[in-house]
A and B are shown apart, each in its own frame.
Chain A
Amino acid sequence: MLSESIWILPALPALGALVNGLLGARWREKGIAAVAVGSVGLALAAVLALLAEMLSLPAGDRSFSVTLWRWLSDGALHVHVGFVLDSLAMVMVTVILFVGFLIHLYSAGYMKGDPGYRRYFVCLNLFVFFMLVLVLADNLVVTFVGWEGVGLCSYLLIGFWHEKKSACDAGRKAFVVNRIGDFGFLLGTLLAAVTFGTVNYADLARLLATGPAVSEGAVAAVALLLFMGAMGKSAQFPLHVWLPDAMEGPTPVSALIHAATMVNAGVYLMCRIAPFLENAPAVLPVIAAVGLVTALYASFCALGQRDIKRVLAYSTVSQIGYMFVALGCGLWAAGMFHLLTHGIFKGLLFLAAGAVIHALDGEQDLGRMGGLLKDLPAVSVTFMAGLLALAGIFPLSGFVSKDAILWGGFERYGTLFWLAAFGGALVTALYTGKLFSAFLGRRRFEGHPHRPGGLIVMPLATLAVFALLAGIPGLPLFTADTFFARFLGMPAAQAAPATSAAHDLEVALTVLQSLAVLAVLAGAIRLFTREKRPVDSAVLASGFGIDRLYDFLLVRPLKACSRFFAAIIDARLIDGAVNGLGSLSMALGRFSAGLQTGQLRHYAVSLIAGAFALLAITVCLAGGL
C-alpha cells in the first residue's frame, strides 16, 4: 500500500533535483521544467491518494509511519531516520505540494530565458525535498536536517541572481539571522535528548504524559529554545529582519519559500511539540506576546513600503505573527488553519505580484502602478481576490481563520490583547488598500504592460479559487470544533465551556470586526487611489529602523572587532611572533656565520682552546683541581 512507503513523498522531488542536476546540463528548458514539475506533481498525486486513504480511516488511527534506518546511536539515545504522516503533517504536506506544484508550474513560465534555468529548478526541487523531510520527520534531529536544508535552499535562491550584490547580501543576511534561531533549535534538541533520552516526537509525548516527572522548568526550557528556532525560521520579531530583504530572490521563490512553506515551519514545529507547550503553560504567553508584537509591528512596516514585494513580505511576517498568537492561545487548529489559508492566499499574492512585475518590465514601485485592472484583467482579479482574503473580508478564507484567532486571543488574554490584535487587523486592511491602488484608479505606468502566458495565469486562477474556498474547512463559525480541528485531532489547550453569553459576544465581535475592516479597507482604497497619495513615512519604510539599530548594535561593533583583530592581533601579534621567530634564527645564523672567518689560524685557536677546555673540564670532574 502507499501508506507503507510515505518516503516516496520526499524521494520524488529529490529524484527530480538529481536528474536535473546530473543529467540536465544540455537539456532544453522544456525538458528541465517537465522533470521538475513532474516530480512535484507526482508527489502531489501521491499525497492526495494518501489523504483519501487517511480520511477513510477512523479519527484515532490517522497516522502512517515508516522507519528507514538507524542513523545514530549513542548509549541510550537512538536516532532513526523515520517519517510519520499524521493529520498535522498531512496539512503541511498538502500545502507544500499543492502550492509548490502550482509555483513550479508558474516558474516554468516565469523563469523562461533565464541563464540559470536549470540551477533554479534544481534548487527549487531540493527545497521541496528538504521541506518534506522537515515536515515528515518523526524526531527532532531529522527535522533539524530538513530545517537546515530549507535554510540552505533559501540562501541559494535568495542569492539566485548572484551577480547582484544586494541579492548576495540578502542571502547572507537570511542565512546568518537563521543561524541565530538554529542555535536555539539545536540547544533545545540537545536538552530534550539529555532530559528525556529520546528525540522522537511520539516517545517524547508519551514520556510527558505518563513518564517520570520532569521539572516544568526543563520542559519550558526545551519549548523556549525550540521556539527560538521557530522565531528565526518564521521571521518573528526581533529575528524578522531577513525576510523583507529576502525579496531579492525571484518572485516564485518568495511565494514558495518566504510565504507559503518555509517561513511557516516554525508554526508547524510548535504544533509538533505541542505536548511540551501543554506541560509548560508558562511558555504560551511568551509565544502569544512575540506573535502579537510581530503582527502589529510588521503590519505598520508593511504600510510604509513602496516596493510591492516588500509590502507582501512584511505582511507575511505579520500574518505569521497571528499564527503564533493562535498557538500562544493554545489554539493549535486555529494556527494551523491560518497557516493553510495564508499559504494559499499569500502564495497567490506573490505569484500575482510576480506577474505584475513581469508585465511592467521589472517595475516594483507601487507608486508607478495604477489602473492595471484594464491592462491585466486576469492578474488583477486574482490579486484582488487574494487581497480580500488577506484583509479578512467576510466569506473569504482569511476571514474564517483570522476570526478564530482574534476570538481566541480575547477569550484567553482579555480585552487589551484583543484590541491590539484587532488593531493589527485594521492596519492589515490599510496596507491592503494600498495594494489595491495598483489596480484601481489612474494609469501611472508608461508603456504597454504585456499580458502573461497561460502557464502563469493558470496557477493564479487555481489559487484564487482556493483562496475563496479554503475557508470551508474552518466552518462552522463560532466554535473551536471546526471540521479542520476535527481532522487535525489536536485538543485545544483549554476547553472553555461555551456559555451562550460568550457565544453572543463572539458573534457580536465578529460582526463588529468585519464591519470595521470593511470600512477601513474602503477608506484606504479611496485614500490611496486619489491623485495625490499620502507620503510614505520613512520610519515605517525602514521598519522602525530595526536594521539600523542592528547595524549600530551588532554589525558595527563586530566589524570594529574584526578590524581590531585583523590589524592588531593578527598583523602585529601573530604575524609578529612568526616573523620574529624567523628573524631571530636569521640573526643567530648571521652571528654564527661571523665566527667562520676563513682564517686558518682562528680555526686552529678554537681547536686548541676547545681541547684545553675539554681537558680542564675532565680534570675538574675528576677532582684533580
Chain B
Amino acid sequence: MSLEHVVGLGIVLFAIGAAGFFIRTNTVVLLLCIEVMLNAVNLILAGFSRYLHGTEGQVFIFMIMTVAAAEAAVGLAIIVALYRLLKTLDMSRINFLKG
C-alpha cells in the first residue's frame, strides 16, 4: 500500500463528496458530503504522516475531527431549525442568499 494509493483514494473520496455536494439537494445529505470531504482530507493527511514518519499530520487529523464534530452538531441544529421554519430540507428551494 503505497502513498499513491492512499492519496488516490483520498482524491476520489473528496471528488465523490464534492460531486455529491453539487448534485444533491437534501440538506442532511449535503452535511454527509461535507463529512466525506473532510475525511478524505484526513486520509491524505494520515498517508503523508506515515510516509514522512512525522506526527504533525496526525495532530491535524484530530483537529479536523474535532471541528467536524462541532460542525455536525451545529449543522444538524441548523437543519432542525430550517425544517421547523420552512417545512422542507430541499436546498434548491432554500435560496435566500441572493442579491
Residues on A facing B (Cβ under 8 Å)? 592-593, 596-601, 603-605, 608
User: Is B48 an interface position by the 8 A CB rule?
Assistant: no
| Distance of A169 Cα from B39 Cα, bound (Å) | 89
- A596 x B98 contact (CB < 8 A): yes
Bound: A596/B96 CA distance, A? 10
A592 to B94 alpha-carbon distance, docked (Å): 20
Closest to B96 in A: A598
Of A592, A598, A601, which is within 8 A of B21 by CB? A601
Choose one: B22, B25, B97; the contact of A598 (CB below 8 Å).
B97
Which residue of B18, B97, B99 is within 8 Å of A600 (Cβ)? Answer: B97
The answer to whether A597 touches B21 (Cβ under 8 A) is no
Q: Is the CB of A597 within 8 A of B22?
A: no
Tell me the smallest distance from the CB of B97 to a CB of chain A, in Å: 5
Find chain B residues with CB under 8 A from A592 CB: 99
Q: Which residues does chain B contribute within 8 Å of A599, judged by CB atoms?
A: 91-92, 95
Give complex CA distance A161, B35 in Å. Answer: 90
CA distance A166 to B99 in the complex (A): 60
Q: Which residues of A sit under 8 angstroms from B72, Cβ to Cβ?
A: none
Which of A596, A605, A608 contacts B99 (CB under 8 A)? A596
A287 CA to B95 CA, complexed, in Å: 88
Q: Is B6 among interface residues, defined by CB-CB distance under 8 A?
A: no
Q: How far is the CA of A596 from the CA of B98 in the complex (A)?
A: 5
**B66-99: which residues lie under 8 A (CB-CB) from chain A?**
91-92, 94-99
- List residues of B whose CB falls within 8 A of some A CB: 18, 21-23, 25, 30, 91-92, 94-99
The secondary structure that dominates the B interface is loop
- Asked whether A597 lies within 8 Å of B18 as measured between CB atoms, the reply is no
The answer to whether B98 touches A600 (Cβ under 8 A) is no
Q: Which 5 A-B pairs have the closest CB atoms?
A: A598-B95, A598-B98, A593-B99, A596-B99, A596-B98
The answer on a CB contact under 8 Å between B98 and A604 is no
* 11 A-B contact pairs sorted by A residue (CB < 8 Å): A592-B99, A593-B99, A596-B97, A598-B98, A599-B95, A600-B94, A600-B95, A601-B92, A603-B97, A604-B21, A604-B22
Considering the chains assembled together, what is the distance between the CA atoms of A599 and B30 in angstroms? 13
* Cα distance, A370 to B13, chains bound together (Å): 119
List A contacts of B98 (CB < 8 A): 593, 596-598
Task: Give min CB distance, A600 to chain B, whole Å.
Answer: 5
Q: What CA separation (Å) do A604 and B18 show in the bound complex?
A: 9
- Provide the residues of chain B in CB contact with A604, threshold 8 Å: 18, 21-22
Inter-chain CA distance A605–B18, complex, in Å, is 9
**Closest chain A residue, CB of each to CB of B27:** A600
Q: Look across to chain A and name the residue whose beta carbon is closest to the beta carbon of B22.
A: A601
A521 smallest CB distance to B (angstroms): 92
Query: Which B residues lie within 8 Å of A605 (CB)?
Result: 22
Please measure, in the bound complex, the distance between the C-alpha atom of A457 and the C-alpha atom of B95, giving whole angstroms. Answer: 94
B95 — which chain A residues lie within 8 A by C-beta? 597-600
Interfacial chain B residues near A593, Cβ < 8 Å? 98-99
The reply to whether B18 and A608 contact each other, CB–CB distance below 8 Å, is: yes
Find chain A residues with CB under 8 A from B30 CB.
600
Contacts of A600 in B (CB 8 A): 30, 91, 94-95, 97
Chain A residue with Cβ nearest B23: A601
| Interfacial chain A residues near B23, Cβ < 8 Å | 601
Q: Which A residues are in CB contact (< 8 Å) with B96?
A: 598
Q: Give CA–CA (A597, B98) in the complex, Å.
A: 5
